[in-house]
Amino acid sequence: MTALPDKLSILEIDTELEEIIEEVEALNVANEEVPAQLMERFEAFCRAYEQKADKIGHFVRMMEFREQCCRQEAARLLDRARAAEGSLKRTKSMVMYLLMKRGLPRLEGHQYTFRIQANSQDSVRITDESLVPLACQRIHLNVDGTMWETVLSFLPEELAFAFVRAIEGKVPDTTAIRAAVSRNEEVPGVEVKRGYHLRVA
């Protein structure tokens, strides 16, 4: 058996403890006295087990804190990116206003030159979205599969096929899957079972 529990992983310590317990149980069954050295070894591995658990707990807490900090930093950087984007748009608008107001073809510096250039296509500015006809809008639906299949069943085959081809993406609905399984319905392609998570207290 390994002599240095502090050098082992928590899984190796757990295995070692199982072997010690089995050895103690075998001695008890044989009505033999458990050597003090074996009990000392058992206590040493128990202490090492607790220390490893504390180290793992500390590591988990540290990683949770790091994850939270990274998410907060990502949100902060996203806000800064939006602010920079706004400043960029305002600056470009200001330069364009200056050129158009003075009728200048360009604004030249030592390193950069600014000029107004026509876009490749007409731009659209929505003045009142509520007045835009439905035919001039793109519709994004977020419905469950049951409702979708019901709607398709009432459509002519050609129109239903066009609707199916218009699907841009789909994701499994875990709520609907759990409900179907609870009704003892077979759902291909999925496995439903009660999982576990690690709680650190």
φ/ψ of 95, rounded to 5, equals -65, -45
- Alpha helices by DSSP H, listed for 103-173, are 145-153, 157-165
Contact 200, 61 (CB under 8 A): yes
C-alpha dihedral sign at 159, 160, 165, 170: positive
Q: Which two tokens stand for residue 39?
A: 């009990």
DSSP-derived secondary structure letter, 33? P
Q: Which helix (H) or strand (E) holds 87?
A: helix 36-102
Supply the pTM of this predicted model.
0.55
Q: Which two tokens stand for residue 63?
A: 């990683």
Distance from C-alpha of 131 to C-alpha of 135, rounded to nearest angstrom: 11
What does each of the 201 residues of the chain score in pLDDT, given as a tens digit? 455 667 778 888 888 888 888 888 888 888 888 888 888 888 888 888 888 888 888 888 998 999 999 999 999 999 999 999 999 999 999 998 998 899 888 888 899 999 888 877 766 778 888 888 777 777 777 888 888 899 999 999 998 888 888 888 877 888 888 888 888 888 888 888 877 655 656
Contact 164, 153 (CB under 8 A): no
From residue 29, how far is each of 34, 41, 43, 155, 176 by CA, in Å? 11, 20, 21, 76, 54
From residue 37, how far is each of 3, 27, 48 by CA, in Å? 12, 14, 16
Residue 31 falls in which region: left (phi positive, over 0), alpha (psi -120 to 50) or beta = left
